Amino acid sequence: MSAETRAVQEEAASTRPVASLPGTSGGPSDASTPAAPVVEAQDLEVVLPSGSGVGPWTGMIRAGEQVLLLGPSGSGKSTLLRALAGAIPSHQRARVTGTLRVGGSDPLGGGVLATSEVAGFLGQDPADGVCLPQVADDVALPLESRCTPPVQIGPRVREVLAAAGIGALGARTAATLSGGQLQRAGLAAAVAARPRLLLLDEPTAMLDADGVAAVRDAVTTATAATADGGVAAVLVEHRLDDWAGERGVAGLPPRTIALGAFGQVLADGPTREVLTRHGAALREAGCWLPREVEEEFEDAADAALEVERGSDADSGPELAGGPDVETAPAWTGRRRTAVEPAGVVPESAEPLLTVRRADLGHGDRPVLTGVDLTVRAGQLLAVVGRNGAGKSTLLGALSRLDPPQAGEIDGAPAGLVFQRPEAQFVADTVAGELAASGGEPAQVTAMLSRLGLEEQRETSPFTLSGGQQRRLSIGAMLLAERPVLLADEPGYGLDRAASRTVLALLREVADAGRGVVIATHDLRTVQTADAVAVIADGQLHPPIAPPGLLRDQGLLRRAGLVPGSGAGGIPGEDPSIGPRSGHGVPETAATPSPSAAGAASAIPSRTDRQAPESPPRGWLARRNPTVLLGLLTALSIVCITLTDPAPLVLLYGLLSVGAMLGCRIGLRRLLRAQVPFAVFASGVLMVNVLSRPGHEPWPDLPIRVTEEGIVLGAALALRALVIGLGALIVARATDPRRTLVSLRQHARLPARYAYALLAGRRLLDDLPRRWETITRAHRVRLPLTGDGQVARLRPRHLLRCAFSLLVDAIRSADRIAFALESRGLGDGPRTLWRPVPLGAADVLLALGVAVVVTSVLILA
């Protein structure tokens, strides 16, 4: 260890509150410590290839202990969490020194698989929370990995799903769940095998207030439910206030480990004590703190505002006395952010964008009706609403990606900064990204320095940090010279410092005379706006001053800014809306816009079969998929040896009958599904007729047509039709889960491959949505057409989109592999909850097909 790091460690030790230090030498024999340690670290230090690192950390976490891991971006919170989960260095290159034991296993040497016996993990992106297509299978996976007897798996799956509050969703495909539901399903999978340690890496980053409350409650249930000392948990969370809920700091985990900007351990002790003693340093480093702690700093810094708060509190009826004073946003009237509202923009300011009585949405179903909105120069407008309420629909309309279904929108298309900046990157370098917006070299240089990205000029935009990416995205939009700038969740995933920088930049843009509209579900962002418009119940409410909204608890609830929806469920959890995720435009997931029709029309036709209401039907659908695939293989081999059309015609006829009876497909549907095969087959016939030498029955024709060509061409075309029809039948009679489970059972496909492929299927279901987001994001980057419309993507733009999708998917691959391993997926022995039967009927089918095909070959 270098002298430098030792110094840091000493500093860390000296700042640690001694009384609460959870003993470095303590063990089960220590009388004062009732619970056994789950995590024991000695001088644990992780250094990443970038040179940033975390630690050294010496300490332990005992059974049942709840720990908050606090620190600014780049302090290594996630790195430390991933190290505890065993992902470092097995999944991620790093130099690790010191020792770490998690429940008796060594995460550093044993990797995620070894640690999975003790620890469950939940990450921030709902899209990755569930990694198999069907929710129940995903929850069952860790149980199968632990060789739980199959009869016990079903009850346990139902139990954990119910405990997570989603008992009814086990049979659903993950693609039909909302973000909050996905995160709870991911949590159910993480706790199914009764881990002793739960690792939570910003599990609520993408949820609205109700989603946060639901996930938090599920975590509380999961960590409290066991009798044997309880489940320890380590939580990394930016949204401390949403997590803590009404209990304030008391609602946070009782113990906090605080990391400094460079990964050194600042403090480890009771949460309130750590926040009191080190809050200033943490805040200075850019870390979010609970609101009430921030207030203490504000109070100390600026007592003069006290009077203002008092008058504001009096004016809000909900705040009048009672024990709830603490819980209501008593800070409403206070201006405590660096980015101060500039005051109400006068009605006389130039209107840049006007929406009149517009109905907005995709497809035939309007998401928002009767929208009236004026965006004025110099105005910073916030739009709030639950996940799926229509924020993104509004932004899509204002940016003119989607025409209004009724009414009109006046003004030039607005620029739009997407929630995930990566979806919008079109160039290889940071400078190129700005140049792609039409910036001259001098403008690019000036913008780089304004964004603080001079050093990153030549690096790939994909390698930037979250805050840098967001700034770059905004900068690129600014150079595109659109009068109005829209930003979807600009503070998402950012720490305090980065978030303030981004908001300050947006304020600057407004002050320079443009209009800015921010869609958000973050209360602090709302405070910085000049006005805020609430979307609820399919309506856009007229903009009001932020303090007015913040005083109105009812409206705050309807806007999804504080938890608590009325009776009858959570509107924001409407499953038809699709997951709220970083990739997304949730409203568009269900009903794709015409612009992405290319992407979203055929995959759904495959997912139709997956939806609960239309499972595969018919006798063949109950047969063993391995048998079906084997029969199709055999049939294909027979077909490619045939050069005579007659038996192929017979086979085609028999297969058609088999399809209609065995899969219950109507004739029309069957024929329609074969149109592409027919086009291909007719091409095959044509080429053979024209290009095969031989006897010419009609020598007078201007082109050469041969008998051999006709016969062989017909046979080859029929081959394609027969095999195509066979493939169609098998596709209709099987579903991916049964096929892969059966291949595992009956064709010895290794479990790791079978489940990796199933996870691939889950990703495939998600790709149309991601593709649509990316293509929309790229369209916004294009220069407008001559008549001021948003341009269409040309082939080279589509190739860029394809590359973005590939980068995004490779990032997902990392998370999928981690999730699967943390569910214990390895080569070891495992049980199977719902095996696919192989029975007499399958033998009968195989024999029947063999007899029929042989008869055809003999007869024809």
Partner 1 sequence: MSAVQTAPTTGRSRLTLREIVLVVVLGVVFGFLYWVFVQAWNALAIAMGPAGDLAQHVLFGSWLLVGPIALAILRRPGVGILAEMLAAIIEVVFLGSPVGPLLVLSAALQGIGSELPFALTRYRRFGWGVFAASGALGAGLVFFWTAYRMGWYGQDLLALRLGMQVLSGIVLGGLLARVIVRALERTGVLANFAIGTAAQADGIPQRHVR
Find the shortest distance in angstroms from Cβ 604 to partner 1. Answer: 12
d(C-alpha 825, C-alpha 255), whole Å? 32
Scanning 14-22, 525-533, 821-829, 852-860 for contacts with partner 1 by CB under 8 A, the matching segment is 821-829
Four-CA torsion 303, 306, 309, 313, nearest 10 degrees: 140
d(C-alpha 527, C-alpha 395), whole Å? 20
Find the shortest distance in angstroms from Cβ 262 to partner 1. Answer: 5
Q: Which of residues 436-495 bind partner 1 (CB under 8 A)?
A: 460, 462-463
Nearer residue to partner 1 within complex by CB, 530 or 821: 821
Find the shortest distance in angstroms from Cβ 586 to partner 1. Answer: 20
Contact between 696 and partner 1 by CB under 8 A: the answer reads no
Which position among 164, 431, 730, 856 is part of the footprint of partner 1 (CB under 8 A)?
730
Q: Which positions ≥6 away from 702 have C-beta within 8 Å?
A: none
d(C-alpha 336, C-alpha 524), whole Å? 9
Q: Which of residues 620-659 bind partner 1 (CB under 8 A)?
A: 629, 632-633, 636-637, 640, 643
Find the shortest distance in angstroms from Cβ 552 to partner 1. Answer: 45
Find the shortest distance in angstroms from Cβ 336 to partner 1. Answer: 29
Which position among 101, 356, 692, 797 is part of the footprint of partner 1 (CB under 8 A)?
692
Q: Which positions ≥6 away from 87 have C-beta within 8 Å?
A: 111, 112, 818
Q: Which of residues 732-791 bind partner 1 (CB under 8 A)?
A: 734, 736, 739-740, 752-753, 756-757, 759-761, 763-764, 767-768, 771
d(C-alpha 305, C-alpha 317), whole Å? 20
Q: Which two tokens stand for residue 172?
A: 């659903």
Scanning 27-35, 277-285, 515-523, 688-696 for contacts with partner 1 by CB under 8 A, the matching segment is 688-696
Q: Which two tokens stand for residue 284?
A: 């200075």
Secondary structure of 498-557 in the HEC alphabet? HHHHHHHHHHHHHHCCCEEEEEECCHHHHHCCCEEEEEECCEECCCECHHHHHHCHHHHH
Secondary structure of 677-704 in the HEC alphabet? HHHHHHHHHHHHHHHCCCCCCCCCCCCC
d(C-alpha 451, C-alpha 439), whole Å? 14
Which position among 231, 534, 820, 836 is part of the footprint of partner 1 (CB under 8 A)?
820
Nearer residue to partner 1 within complex by CB, 278 or 823: 823
Q: Which of residues 314-343 bind partner 1 (CB under 8 A)?
A: none
Q: Which of residues 555-614 bind partner 1 (CB under 8 A)?
A: 598-599, 602-603, 606
Scanning 147-155, 187-195, 539-547, 683-691 for contacts with partner 1 by CB under 8 A, the matching segment is 683-691
Which position among 230, 370, 604, 826 is part of the footprint of partner 1 (CB under 8 A)?
826
Q: How far is CA 690 from each of CA 44, 333, 411, 708, rounded to the nearest angstrom?
A: 74, 83, 58, 10
Contact between 829 and partner 1 by CB under 8 A: the answer reads no
Which position among 346, 568, 693, 829 is part of the footprint of partner 1 (CB under 8 A)?
693
Nearer residue to partner 1 within complex by CB, 289 or 685: 685
Find the shortest distance in angstroms from Cβ 757 to partner 1. Answer: 6
d(C-alpha 430, C-alpha 464), whole Å? 9
Find the shortest distance in angstroms from Cβ 8 to partner 1. Answer: 6
Q: Is 17 helix (H, G, I), strand (E, B) or coil?
A: coil
Find the shortest distance in angstroms from Cβ 848 to partner 1. Answer: 19
DSSP category for residue 225: -
Say if CB 679 and CB 686 are below 8 A apart: no
Q: Which stretches of 610-750 are DSSP H helices?
A: 625-641, 645-662, 667-673, 675-691, 707-733, 736-746
Contact between 705 and partner 1 by CB under 8 A: the answer reads no
With CB under 8 A, what is the number of residues at the site for partner 1? Answer: 106
Nearer residue to partner 1 within complex by CB, 83 or 293: 83
Q: Which of residues 242-301 bind partner 1 (CB under 8 A)?
A: 262-264
Q: Which of residues 39-58 bind partner 1 (CB under 8 A)?
A: 42-43, 45, 47-49, 51-53
Q: Which of residues 60-119 bind partner 1 (CB under 8 A)?
A: 89-99, 108-109
d(C-alpha 822, C-alpha 388), whole Å? 30
